[in-house]
Amino acid sequence: MSDSLRQVRADYDRDAVVIYQAYDDRIADAALAQGRFVGPHFSFSRMTWIKPSFLWLMHRSHWGTSRGQTRTLAVRLRRAGFDHALSVAVSTDPTARLYDSYPAWRAAFEAAPVHVQWDTERALSGSALAHYSIQVGLSRHVIRTFVDEWIVSISDLTDRVSKMRAFVQGGRTDRARALLPPERLYPVEDAVTRRWS
């Protein structure tokens, strides 16, 4: 991707990519027990956002202390599924370069099964960095596929988050940094990034 400010960064291997989500105990416990998200508390009827940036989720959930976001889950997805989601996504930004007018973007946005949004990436301290982090919004049209076909495994990072939060609050950022998941540039074809950059 040519835009150095908007690059997908993730923890991944040949087969899977890790995304992060924060939930309450009911959703997290059921997902960990089943190895997938299940009802009745997980919603299959509204958009769910997946985030490959661990630190952005920490910013969003206030290190696992926000109401309803006290459990941090690492979800391993099949790369084929993640890549498909990116390939059909439309940006939440109406000025994305693929669209020559607001109506053209709006029509594409309303029809898209997946949305992409860029947010300022965060440091361990919570301060803003000079590049952006991607969020991928999965609509109700693809959530079942996400749950039934893309998820490889789900693990609970809540204890790690709690430990890291204590290190950060105590000024031991070196100890917290040692527990960060590895994230690196994720390969995305230019033809795909043009859809939402």
Q: What is the pLDDT of residues 129-151, one digit of tens each?
A: 999 999 999 999 999 999 999 99
Sign of the alpha-carbon torsion through 3, 6, 11, 12: negative
Give the number of domains in the chain. 1
Q: Is 45 part of a structural domain of the chain?
A: yes
Q: Is 92 part of a structural domain of the chain?
A: yes
- What are the φ/ψ torsions at residue 110 (nearest 5 degrees)? -70, -25
Share of the chain above pLDDT 70, in %: 98
Q: Strand, helix or coil at 167?
A: helix
Say yes or no to pLDDT of 55 above 50.
yes
pTM: 0.92
- What are the φ/ψ torsions at residue 127 (nearest 5 degrees)? -70, 155
Confidence of residue 2 (pLDDT cuts 50, 70, 90): very low
* Cα(108)–Cα(122) distance, integer angstroms: 30
Q: Strand, helix or coil at 72?
A: strand
Domain around 82: 9-193
Quickly list DSSP for 13-69: -SSEEEEEEEE-HHHHHHHHHHTS--TTTS-SSS-EEEBS-HHHHHHHHTTTTSTT-
Exposure of 103 by Cβ count < 10 A (0-12 exposed, 13-18 middle, 19+ buried)? exposed
* Cα(70)–Cα(24) distance, integer angstroms: 6
Q: Is 4 part of a structural domain of the chain?
A: no
